[in-house]
C-alpha cells in the first residue's frame, strides 16, 4: 500500500490490535509493541497501524518521529546505546564515541555494512556512577576507556566470525 | 544466616547477577539463604553482598568479583568471618551511609523489592491503613501541609496545595499521575526508588489518590528503565492480589487502579502537561497553562501529578506525622532530599540528606571529595534546567531559596561534580546541545533560540568566538527565558548564565586568547612531550596516525604541532605520563 519495498508480514500485528480494543491502548503503546515485533517500524507497518487505529498516516508518523525510542530503519544485530548524559560527558563519553566511530567506521545513528552493529547515543542510562557507560543489547558496560571499548567490540566481532 | 545481593540496575551492570549465580552454585545444600535487595546507593562499591543474621547486618562485602565467590562461600559455610575481612567495607567508606538521613530511601537496599511480604513485614501499608480507616481526605491533606513537603520533581511546589486544588476541582472522575520520566541526564533517584522499593511508591500514590478522590492512577516511566518497569508491574500485581489495590481496598469504600505507561524517550515529556499529552498517545508537546492539570489534565479531567520521590515520602509522613518531617530542614525547605552524586567524585551514588546541609558537606564529607586528587571546579545541579556552582559557593546550604540565589536550582537531584579538567564553556555547550535536540519545536523562542545559542557556544569552543559573543548569549538568554512556552525553554539558559556568571574568564580565554584553560576543547589544545618524563620508548610515535612524532629510541620525542591532528592517542598510550596538553 505504501509502494515501499518493506513487505512486512502484517499478520503479526493481529494480536496487537486485538489487545488494543480490549483496554483502550494508545498509539504509543501500539507502536512500542510493533517495534518489539519487527525490531523497527517499517513504513507499511505504520500505514497499517494508521488504518487500524483510526489515525491519519501523518499523525502516526508524527508520533513515531517525535520519540527517540522509535526507529524507522532496521538496526544491526548488536545495538550499541552509548550514554552521553552529564555524568558520562564529564567522564569522557566523547572519546568513547570517537573510538566506536573509528573502529566501526559509522556515525551516530548508522549501522555497519555487515549489519552487525548500530550506534545510537542516548542521554543517561541511569548507571551514572559507572560512567562512561554503554549498553550493547541487554548488557551494560561501565567505566569505559577507548581501549576497553574497542576490545569489547572486537570480542563480539570475533565471536560472530566463528 | 542469610545473604543479600544488591541488584539494582547499577549493581547488575557492575556484575551482581553473575556474583549471585556463582554464590548460589557454591552454596547449594547449605542452610544459607540467598536473596536480593535493590540499590543501597553505594554505587561506587558495587557489587555488594550483605550478610544478615535475621534482621541484623553482620557484614557488608563490597566490590565482590566473580572470582571471589568461591572463597566467600567456603568462609560462610565454615562460619569463618575472619577470612571475609578483606572483602569488607572500610570504615572510611562506611561514612557514606552514616551521614545520611533516609526517608524516601528508607527501605532501599534493605528489603527484597520483588516481595510484598518483605514490605508488609517491615511495616509497609500500615500508613495506607491508617489513612483509610482513621483519617478523612482533608485530614490527609492537612498532615501533608504540616509536613511542608514540596515537589521533588524540580519546581518545589507545595504538595498539599496541589492535592487540595485537585480535590476541590469539579468532577467525579479524577486522575493521579506519577512522573517517573526522570529526564535529567545524570540523575537516577527515581529509578532507584522504583527498583528497590516499589511498594513505597504505590502506597504513597494510594494515599494521594484517596486524598484527591481519584480512582485511576498512572505511573509514567521512562523507556530506558526496563528493570524498574518489571519490578513495578510485579509489585502492582502483588498489591492487587493482597487487596491493597483494586476495588474496596482494605475493606473500605475506597477503590483505586494503577497502570504503568512506558515513555518512549523524550525529555520534554517530564514536563507535566507534555506528559499528559504523551499519556493520551500524542506527541509530547506542552500545553499552555492555565488551565492547570488540577482543573484540566488527563482526558481534560482534574489530575494531579507528582514526582516519584515526592510520593515516596508520603507514607512515612502519614505514619510519623507531618511534624516529624518538618522538624528536619530549614525555614523554607522541609524534610530530606535525595541526590545522585556523580561525576569526578570519589564516592558516587545516592545520597539522602536533611535539607540545610551545605554542598561542601555532601561533596566532601559524604562523597569523599574529588577523584585522583584533582581540584574541585564546580558542581552542576538541576541538569539542563539548572546551573553550575563554583568553589567559592561550596558553603551554600541546600534549600530551595539558597540554591535559587546562586542561579542554579535544587532540581530533581542530579549533582554532577566537575574537576579542573572540565571546560565550563563546553559544559554549557553540552547542555544546549541537549536542549536543542529535546525542544519539542512548538514555540519559536525555544526551538530557534536554543539553536542559535548552541551555534555560538560551538564556535567559541572551536576557537572562532567573536568579540561580543558573551553579550549576544546573554541577550538570547533573556529572550528565551521570558518568551518560551514551557519550563524546558524558560530554564534552558540557566547553564549558560551560571557559567558566564562564575566562569567568565574561561569564555574570555576561548574568545580572546583562543585557549581552553581546562584543556578540554580539542581545537584549542596543543600536545607536547615533556622531555624530562619521556623515556624514548617510541610507543607514541608508532601509534600516531599522521607521523607527527619523531625521536630516537631512548631519547625524548617531539610532536610536530603543524602535523598533529589532536587525536590524543599518544597521550593514551604513554606509560610515563609524558604527553601534556597546553
Ligand atoms: C522540561 C521539563 C522536564 C521535567 N522533567 C521532570 C522529570 O523528569 N521528573 C519529574 O518528576 N518532574 C519533571 N519536571 C517537573 C514537572 O513538570 C512537574 O512539575 C513535577 O512532576 C511535579 O511533581 P512534584 O510537584 O512532585 O515535583 C519537568 C519539568 C520540565 C519543564
Ligand atoms: S549520565 Fe551516563 S548513565 Fe547517567
From first to last of the 582 residues of chain B, give the pLDDT tens digit. 999 999 999 899 999 999 999 999 999 999 999 999 999 999 999 999 999 998 899 999 999 999 999 999 999 999 999 999 999 999 999 999 999 999 999 999 999 999 999 999 999 999 999 999 999 999 999 999 999 999 999 889 999 999 999 999 999 999 999 999 999 998 999 999 999 999 999 999 999 999 999 999 999 999 889 999 999 999 999 999 999 999 999 999 999 999 999 999 999 999 999 999 999 999 999 999 999 999 999 999 999 999 999 999 999 999 999 999 999 999 999 999 999 999 999 999 999 999 999 999 999 999 999 999 899 999 999 999 999 999 999 999 999 999 999 999 999 999 999 999 999 999 999 999 999 999 999 999 999 999 999 999 999 999 999 999 999 999 999 999 999 999 999 999 999 999 999 999 999 999 999 999 999 998 898 899 999 999 999 999 999 989 999 999 999 999 998 999 888 889 988 999 999 988
Query: Would you call A91 and B343 a contact, using CB atoms and an 8 Å cutoff?
Result: yes
- Say how far apart CA B337 and CA B152 lie, in whole Å: 8
Of the candidates B29, B32, B25, the residue with the CA atom closest to the CA atom of residue B3: B32
> Which residue in chain B is spatially nearest to A148 when comparing CA positions?
B572
A85 C-beta closer than 6 A to ligand 2: yes
Q: Does B568 touch chain A (CB under 8 A)?
A: yes
CA distance linking residue A92 with residue B440, whole number of Å:
28
Q: What is the pLDDT confidence band of residue A24, given thresholds at 50, 70 and 90?
A: very low
State the number of CA atoms in the 13 A half-sphere of B41 facing the CB.
31
CB–CB contact A130 B186 (8 Å): no
Q: How far is A65 from chain B (nearest CA, A)?
A: 9
Question: Do the beta carbons of residue B95 and residue B351 sit within 8 Å?
Answer: no
For chain A, the residues whose C-beta falls within 8 A of a C-beta of chain B are 26-29, 31-32, 62-63, 66-70, 83-91, 95, 98, 122-131, 133, 140-142, 145-147
B136 min Cα distance to partner chain A (Å): 32
| Contact assessment for residue A130 and residue A142, using Cβ atoms and an 8 Å cutoff | yes
Cα(B418) to centroid(ligand 2), Å: 14
pTM for this model (two decimals): 0.94
Strands B56-61 and B175-180: unpaired
Q: Kindly report, residue by residue over B376-434, the tens digit of the pLDDT.
A: 999 999 999 999 999 999 999 999 999 999 999 999 999 999 999 999 999 999 999 99
pLDDT of residue B338: 98
The answer to whether the Cβ–Cβ distance between A126 and B9 falls below 8 Å is: yes
Residue A66 has pLDDT above 90, yes or no: yes
State the virtual CA torsion across B565, B569, B572, B573 in degrees, nearest 10: -130
- Chain A's closest residue to B378, CA to CA, is A90
Contact check, Cβ <8 Å, A129/B10: yes
Domains and CATH numbers, chain A: 10-66 (1.10.10), 78-161 (3.40.30.10)
Residue B10 contacts A where some CB pair is shorter than 8 Å? yes
- Residue A122: CB within 6 Å of ligand 2? no
Question: Looking at CA atoms only, how far is residue A135 from chain B in angstroms?
Answer: 9
Question: Is the minimum distance from the CB of B487 to ligand 1 under 6 angstroms?
Answer: yes
Of B271, B288, B298, the one to substitute when testing ligand 1's pocket (max ligand atoms within 8 A of C-beta) is B271
Neighbours of B134 (CB within 10 A): 8
User: Relative to the alpha carbon of B439, which ligand is closest?
Assistant: 1
How confident is the model at residue B521, as a pLDDT? 92
User: What is the three-class DSSP state of B388?
Assistant: strand
Q: CATH number for B336-419: choose from 3.40.50.300, 3.90.1150.10, 3.10.20.600, 3.30.70.20.
A: 3.10.20.600
Q: Which three cell numbers stand for residue B256?
A: 483505586
Domain ranges of chain B: 2-89, 116-325, 336-419, 424-513, 525-581
> According to the model, what pLDDT value does residue B401 have?
96
Q: What percent of chain A has pLDDT over 70?
A: 94
Task: Output the pLDDT for position B566.
Answer: 85
SS3 assignment for B124-172: CCHHHHHHHHHCCHHHHHHHHHHHCCECCCCCCCEHHHHHHHHHHCCCC
Fold of B116-325: Rossmann fold (3.40.50)
Q: Which atom of ligand 1 is nearest to B384's Cα?
A: 1
Evaluate whether B500 touches B453 at the Cβ level (below 8 Å): no
Residue that is written with C-alpha cell 527484597 in the block: B112
Top CATH class of B525-581 equals: alpha beta
Per-residue pLDDT, A3: 53
pLDDT tens readout for residues B511-548: 999 999 999 998 898 899 999 999 999 999 999 989 99
Helix (H, G, I), strand (E, B) or coil at B414: strand
Nearest alpha carbon, ligand 1 atom 9: B182
Measured from the CA of B491, which atom of ligand 1 is nearest? 31
CA distance to partner chain B, nearest, from residue A113 (Å): 24
Q: How far is A38 from chain B (nearest CA, A)?
A: 17
Angstrom distance (rounded) from CA B109 to CA B197:
8
Cβ B234 vs Cβ B276: under 8 Å = no
| Mean pLDDT score across all residues of chain A | 90
Q: Is B268 in the pocket of ligand 1 (CB under 6 A)?
A: yes
Residue count (chain B): 582
Whose grid coordinates read 497553562?
B289
Counting one residue from chain A and one from chain B, the pairs whose CB atoms sit within 8 A come to 128
Cross-chain residue pair B14–A69, CB shorter than 8 Å: no
Please work out whether the CB of residue B224 comes within 6 Å of at least one atom of ligand 2: no
Please tell me the class of the B2-89 domain: alpha beta
Biggest distance spanned by C-alpha atoms of chain A: 51
CA of B154 to the centre of ligand 1 (A): 6
Residue A4 pLDDT grade (very low, low, confident, very high; cuts 50, 70, 90): low
CATH says B424-513 is which class?
mainly alpha
Amino acid at each position: 500500500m505504501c509502494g515501499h519495498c518493506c513487505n512486512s508480514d502484517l499478520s503479526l500485528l493481529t494480536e496487537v490490535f486485538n489487545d488494543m480494543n480490549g483496554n483502550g491502548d494508545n498509539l504509543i503503546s501500539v507502536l512500542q509493541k510493533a517495534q518489539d515485533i519487527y525490531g523497527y517500524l517499517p513504513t507499511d507497518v505504520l500505514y497499517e497501524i494508521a488504518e487500524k487505529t483510526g489515525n491519519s498516516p501523518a499523525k502516526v508518523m508524527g508520533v513515531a518521529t517525535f520519540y527517540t525510542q522509535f526507529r524507522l530503519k532496521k538496526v544491526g544485530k548488536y545495538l550499541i546505546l552509548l550514554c552521553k548524559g552529564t555524568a558520562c560527558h564529564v567522564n569522557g563519553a566523547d572519546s568513547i564515541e570517537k573510538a566506536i566511530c573509528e573502529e566501526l567506521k559509522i556515525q551516530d545513528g548508522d549501522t555497519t555494512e555487515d549489519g552487525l552493529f548500530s550506534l545510537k547515543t542516548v542521554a543517561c542510562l541511569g548507571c551514572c556512577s559507572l560512567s562512561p557507560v554503554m549498553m550493547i543489547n541487554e548488557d551494560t558496560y561501565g567505566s569505559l576507556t577507548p581501549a576497553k571499548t574497542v576490545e569489547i567490540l572486537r570480542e563480539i566481532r570475533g565471536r560472530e566470525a566463528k | 544466616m542469610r545473604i543479600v545481593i544488591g541488584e539494582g540496575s547499577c549493581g547488575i551492570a557492575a556484575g551482581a547477577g553473575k556474583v549471585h549465580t556463582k554464590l548460589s552454585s557454591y552454596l547449594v545444600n547449605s542452610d544459607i539463604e540467598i536473596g536480593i535487595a535493590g540499590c543501597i546507593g553505594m554505587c561506587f562499591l558495587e557489587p555488594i553482598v550483605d550478610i544478615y543474621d535475621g534482621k541484623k547486618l553482620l557484614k557488608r562485602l563490597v566490590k565482590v568479583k566473580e572470582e571471589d565467590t568461591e572463597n566467600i562461600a567456603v568462609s560462610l559455610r565454615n562460619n569463618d568471618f575472619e577470612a571475609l575481612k578483606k572483602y569488607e567495607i572500610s570504615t572510611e567508606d562506611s561514612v557514606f551511609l552514616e551521614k545520611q538521613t533516609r526517608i524516601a530511601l528508607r527501605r532501599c537496599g534493605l528489603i527484597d523489592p520483588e516481595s510484598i511480604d518483605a514490605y508488609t513485614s517491615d511495616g509497609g501499608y500500615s500508613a495506607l491503613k491508617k489513612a483509610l480507616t482513621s483519617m478523612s481526605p482533608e485530614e490527609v491533606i492537612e498532615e501533608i501541609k504540616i509536613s511542608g513537603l514540596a515537589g521533588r520533581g524540580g519546581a518545589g511546589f507545595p504538595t498539599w496545595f496541589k492535592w487540595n486544588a485537585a480535590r476541590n476541582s469539579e468532577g467525579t472522575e479524577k486522575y493521579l499521575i506519577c512522573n517517573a520520566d526522570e529526564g535529567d541526564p545524570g540523575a537516577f533517584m527515581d529509578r532507584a526508588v522504583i527498583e528497590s522499593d516499589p511498594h513505597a511508591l504505590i502506597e504513597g500514590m494510594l494515599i494521594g489518590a484517596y486524598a484527591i478522590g481519584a480512582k485511576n492512577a498512572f505511573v509514567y516511566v521512562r523507556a530506558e528503565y526496563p528493570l524498574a518497569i518489571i519490578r513495578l508491574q510485579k509489585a502492582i500485581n502483588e498489591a492487587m492480589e493482597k487487596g491493597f489495590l483494586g476495588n474496596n481496598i482494605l475493606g473500605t469504600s475506597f477503590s483505586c487502579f494503577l497502570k504503568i505507561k512506558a515513555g518512549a524517550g523524550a525529555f520534554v515529556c517530564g514536563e507535566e502537561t507534555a506528559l499528559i499529552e504523551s499519556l493520551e498517545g500524542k506527541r509530547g508537546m506542552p500545553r499552555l497553562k492555565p488551565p492547570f492539570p488540577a482543573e484540566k489534565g488527563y482526558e481534560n479531567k482534574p489530575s494531579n501529578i507528582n514526582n516519584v520521590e515526592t510520593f515516596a515520602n508520603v507514607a512515612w509522613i502519614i505514619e510519623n506525622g507531618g511534624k516529624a518531617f518538618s522538624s528536619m530542614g530549614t525555614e523554607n525547605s522541609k524534610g530530606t532530599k535525595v541526590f545522585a552524586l556523580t561525576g569526578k567524585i570519589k564516592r558516587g551514588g545516592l545520597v539522602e540528606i536533611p535539607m540545610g546541609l551545605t554542598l561542601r558537606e555532601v561533596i566532601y564529607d559524604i562523597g569523599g571529595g574529588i577523584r585522583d586528587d584533582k581540584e574541585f571546579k564546580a558542581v552542576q545541579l538541576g541538569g539542563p534546567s539548572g546551573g553550575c556552582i563554583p568553589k567559592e559557593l561550596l558553603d551554600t546550604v541546600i534549600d530551595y531559596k539558597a540554591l535559587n540565589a546562586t542561579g542554579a536550582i535544587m532540581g530533581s537531584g542530579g549533582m554532577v561534580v566537575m574537576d579542573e579538567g572540565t571546560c565550563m564553556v563546553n559544559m554549557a555547550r553540552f547542555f544546549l546541545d541537549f536542549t536543542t535536540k529535546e525542544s519539542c519545536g512548538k514555540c519559536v523562542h525555544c526551538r530557534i533560540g536554543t539553536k542559535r545559542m548552541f551555534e555560538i557556544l560551538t564556535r567559541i569552543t572551536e576557537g572562532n568566538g567573536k568579540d561580543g559573543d558573551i553579550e549576544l548569549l546573554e541577550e538570547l538568554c533573556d529572550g528565551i527565558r521570558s518568551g518560551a512556552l514551557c519550563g524546558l525553554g524558560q530554564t534552558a539558559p540557566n547553564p549558560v548564565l551560571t557559567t558566564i556568571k562564575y566562569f567568565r574568564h574561561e569564555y574570555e580565554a576561548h574568545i580572546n586568547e583562543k585557549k581552553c584553560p581546562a584543556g578540554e576543547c580539542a581545537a584549542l589544545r596543543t600536545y607536547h612531550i615533556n622531555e624530562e618524563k619521556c623515556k624514548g620508548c617510541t610507543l607514541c610515535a608508532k601509534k600516531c596516525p599522521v607521523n607527527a612524532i619523531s625521536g630516537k629510541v631512548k631519547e625524548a620525542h617531539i610532536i610536530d604541532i603543524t602535523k598533529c591532528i589532536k587525536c590524543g592517542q599518544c597521550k593514551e598510550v604513554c606509560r610515563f605520563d609524558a604527553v601534556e596538553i597546553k
